Chains A and B, each alone.
Chain A
């Protein structure tokens, strides 16, 4: 087929159709040839085999679709004993309680400031009797995390206030007094969620 200049205007539809078909066939053949070259090069350069997989590995990772198990074929709710190391204090914490721990550990949240201030207060306090009980109360009180435990918090607040009034020497009284007022304000204020 020799290369020649040709005018398209004189041709009828069937001839144009045939020409278009020819060009299309050529393009498709060329595209296929390109793919052949890619494969040829991959084989010669030695990386063609990389596409292969071994059947065992593939079976290992097959998706499971059955009731009672997840896609890995594992039963639900078996992950109770996971632990992790807190990046802040390096203690080993149960994974499911890591978030509340981290909240206190990083000194965030309303409760953390209360605990911190209490520690300041108790370090000036001669009588440490009731202090440790309250600390335990707080750690146990990880239900801080949901709204349901508001009542519990108020109770421990009241205990805190009571012990303070009894034991604090005058020097640190003012600082604590301000904080006490703050705590009272928080426990009566209903705008917790509105601070977003």
Chain B
């Protein structure tokens, strides 16, 4: 763990001490970095550009190309050869050091270290006023005695850095990962750069000093929702969605560009919803427009007495997906090749393997899914045993001592090999005849947000009831054992590493009976704070409250996002 407290912050100096803490033994170590002196005059005149007039002497003839060469050879080393060349040739011409903040003169071929002031000497002797830091590419002006930021020169630096990173084979897919048919990544994105305000924006911000910063003890991002008449089924889903980190980031960075003509885009309404949640308003929001839009676009939902939150979730995701524009500019019409934010976050792939009992040939299909519906003990279909000859080993830290069913139990049952009986013979392409088979489901691809639906509402021909069986679910869930790749590893006798670890971030609960009930949601903010959302009332909750609750819809978020 690292923290970077600013140790001194006078008008002239910014000093930094980095305090590093070992996560294993907790020993700390402080590293002092020599301070960068900021000239008082330069700080005061922030309205003028952060460049300096002394670069004009440099910006003559073929300066752009010269500068590019310097960046390519001595700063951003793209290929292995340039790296070697840099390592060997970039040494101080006076003392031979290759560290000590080496700088290159911009006017001639001279390398000098900064800490021993060898580059300063060169600058004075030769009247070469500009030098470049070989580690980060910053331009130093010896007349101003400070690092300067010239727009044109920075532009060249950025371009060269991008080129070098591409050469090094680094790919940065932001909201645009695309995997070709061979499974190889073929889309290259940009290096992430933070937002910088323009001059006009800076001016505005300076004149409006009141700020809302989202810290851990801040209510911003939390807001109640008015119940529009038994619409808690909608409110609970809205709370879960507005607290899905990736979705929040997508909308708050204004990534939805609407193509729809009328005012009926649900994605726009979603965007508006995030604005409402982060507005700082304390009174609950009235989501009447949202209800109207969902019902006009998902007519099958409206008009039933008691609505199911799970149904609403699927319908809402479906409408959002339809209204989303693919990042490549195509409409999200092709379900197999959509790249919209909904698919990127919620869509997983469920693999179904049907094995012929005679020839052991396997027929595999992969279907997309947005949620995983799990049967519970107590329903008409028998739950135990989980699989023929199933074991009772513990997983995910859940014990069976108390006898409570765990989420992992449900998942194991979901992914168990199932013997399809003699009445359900499958036509085997290997045997060219109908044979008995076993079917097994595994996760081919897990979505970034995995939603588990505990099937508490039974609607069979004979009865309709709610199954209140308590299912214990963990805060952290390891999905690795349920992956298709793990199944293969197991079959090959290989050890599966835990790579698919998920964290719980929202729990939707249903209280009451099938005929009349109420939905509430627990959501997670700022890593370990939990809140209970009960329509218009938001209160603080403990982790124990969350984990002790019955659970109907469980939302888990992948812990480590990898580049595809």
Given A44-B38, A102-B292, A147-B306; A35-B16 close (CB under 8 Å): yes
Q: CA separation between A29 and B209, bound complex, in Å? A: 35
Q: CA separation between A28 and B453, bound complex, in Å? A: 46
Q: CA separation between A99 and B196, bound complex, in Å? A: 44
Binds A, one of B93-101, B178-186, B317-325, B331-339: B93-101
Q: CA separation between A87 and B495, bound complex, in Å? A: 58
**Taking chain B's interface residues, is the majority helix, strand, or loop, or is none over half, making it mixed?**
loop
Binds B, one of A6-14, A68-76, A122-130, A163-171: A68-76
A185 at the interface (CB under 8 A from B): no
Given A32-B31, A33-B33, A57-B210; A110-B303 close (CB under 8 Å): yes
Q: Assign chain A's interface to a size class.
A: 35 or more
B213 in complex: contacting residue of A3, A41, A53, A79, CB < 8 Å: A53
Q: CA separation between A192 and B305, bound complex, in Å? A: 9
A95 at the interface (CB under 8 A from B): yes
Cβ–Cβ < 8 Å partners of A76 in chain B: 536-537
Binds A, one of B70-78, B282-290, B544-552: B282-290
**Whole-angstrom distance between the Cβ of A137 and the nearest chain B Cβ:** 18
Residue among B38, B146, B228 with most chain A CB within 10 A: B228
**Whole-angstrom distance between the Cβ of A106 and the nearest chain B Cβ:** 6
B42 at the interface (CB under 8 A from A): yes
**Whole-angstrom distance between the Cβ of B518 and the nearest chain A Cβ:** 11
What sequence of 0s and 1s flags, for each residue 135-151 of chain A, a beta carbon within 8 Å of any chain B beta carbon? 00000001011111000
Cβ–Cβ < 8 Å partners of B217 in chain A: 62-63
**Whole-angstrom distance between the Cβ of A93 and the nearest chain B Cβ:** 8
Cβ–Cβ < 8 Å partners of B537 in chain A: 70, 76-77
What sequence of 0s and 1s flags, for each residue 254-297 of chain B, a beta carbon within 8 Å of any chain A beta carbon? 00000000000000000000000000101110101101100110
A117 at the interface (CB under 8 A from B): no
**Taking chain A's interface residues, is the majority helix, strand, or loop, or is none over half, making it mixed?**
helix
Given A35-B16, A58-B215, A62-B219; A96-B303 close (CB under 8 Å): no
A39 at the interface (CB under 8 A from B): yes
A58 in complex: contacting residue of B43, B218, B222, B296, CB < 8 Å: B218
**Whole-angstrom distance between the Cβ of B237 and the nearest chain A Cβ:** 15
B539 at the interface (CB under 8 A from A): yes
B464 at the interface (CB under 8 A from A): yes
Q: CA separation between A61 and B215, bound complex, in Å? A: 10
**Whole-angstrom distance between the Cβ of B230 and the nearest chain A Cβ:** 5
What sequence of 0s and 1s flags, for each residue 23-53 of chain A, a beta carbon within 8 Å of any chain B beta carbon? 0001011111111110111011111011111
Closest to B17 in A: A32
B459 in complex: contacting residue of A39, A49, A101, A193, CB < 8 Å: A193
A44 in complex: contacting residue of B46, B88, B226, B230, CB < 8 Å: B46
B227 at the interface (CB under 8 A from A): yes
- Contact check, B282 vs A50: say whether CB atoms are below 8 A apart: no
- Contact check, B31 vs A45: say whether CB atoms are below 8 A apart: no
Cβ–Cβ < 8 Å partners of B43 in chain A: 43-44
Q: CA separation between A103 and B288, bound complex, in Å? A: 12
Residue among B50, B138, B292 with most chain A CB within 10 A: B292
Q: CA separation between A196 and B6, bound complex, in Å? A: 60
Q: CA separation between A3 and B230, bound complex, in Å? A: 75
- Contact check, B87 vs A97: say whether CB atoms are below 8 A apart: no
Given A54-B210, A57-B210; A146-B516 close (CB under 8 Å): yes
Closest to B515 in A: A147
Closest to B98 in A: A3
**Whole-angstrom distance between the Cβ of B145 and the nearest chain A Cβ:** 13
Q: CA separation between A163 and B403, bound complex, in Å? A: 61
Cβ–Cβ < 8 Å partners of B286 in chain A: 82, 84, 95, 98
B53 at the interface (CB under 8 A from A): no
Given A30-B135, A88-B292; A79-B284 close (CB under 8 Å): yes
Q: CA separation between A43 and B283, bound complex, in Å? A: 38
Closest to A109 in B: B303
Q: Assign chain B's interface to a size class.
A: 35 or more
Given A63-B540, A71-B538; A29-B14 close (CB under 8 Å): no
A98 in complex: contacting residue of B197, B202, B209, B291, CB < 8 Å: B291
**Whole-angstrom distance between the Cβ of A149 and the nearest chain B Cβ:** 9
Residue among B36, B88, B280 with most chain A CB within 10 A: B36
Closest to A45 in B: B50
Given A61-B212, A82-B226, A87-B289; A71-B311 close (CB under 8 Å): no
- Contact check, A146 vs B459: say whether CB atoms are below 8 A apart: no
A2 at the interface (CB under 8 A from B): yes
Closest to B230 in A: A145
- Contact check, A146 vs B515: say whether CB atoms are below 8 A apart: yes
Given A52-B211, A109-B303; A44-B50 close (CB under 8 Å): yes
**Whole-angstrom distance between the Cβ of B129 and the nearest chain A Cβ:** 18
Cβ–Cβ < 8 Å partners of A37 in chain B: 36, 136, 138, 147
- Contact check, A53 vs B211: say whether CB atoms are below 8 A apart: yes
Q: CA separation between A39 and B236, bound complex, in Å? A: 42
Residue among B227, B306, B539 with most chain A CB within 10 A: B539
B192 at the interface (CB under 8 A from A): no
**Whole-angstrom distance between the Cβ of B83 and the nearest chain A Cβ:** 13
Cβ–Cβ < 8 Å partners of B522 in chain A: none
A46 in complex: contacting residue of B36, B202, B220, B516, CB < 8 Å: B202
Given A37-B36, A102-B291; A26-B99 close (CB under 8 Å): yes
**Whole-angstrom distance between the Cβ of B156 and the nearest chain A Cβ:** 16
- Contact check, B295 vs A102: say whether CB atoms are below 8 A apart: yes
B149 at the interface (CB under 8 A from A): yes
Q: List 17 extra interface pairs beyond A65-B540, A82-B284, A106-B295, CB under 8 A.
A: A3-B88, A37-B36, A37-B136, A39-B6, A39-B16, A40-B38, A50-B197, A58-B213, A76-B536, A86-B292, A88-B292, A97-B229, A99-B229, A108-B299, A108-B302, A110-B303, A193-B464
A sample of 22 cross-chain residue pairs with beta-carbon separation below 8 angstroms, ordered by A number, consists of: A3-B91, A28-B31, A33-B135, A33-B136, A44-B147, A45-B46, A46-B46, A47-B196, A52-B211, A58-B213, A61-B218, A62-B217, A63-B217, A71-B539, A98-B229, A102-B228, A106-B296, A106-B302, A109-B302, A147-B305, A192-B304, A194-B459
Please name the 9 residue pairs, one residue from A and one from B, whose CB atoms are nearest each other, closest first: A109-B303, A99-B229, A46-B46, A108-B303, A108-B302, A72-B282, A98-B228, A32-B33, A53-B213
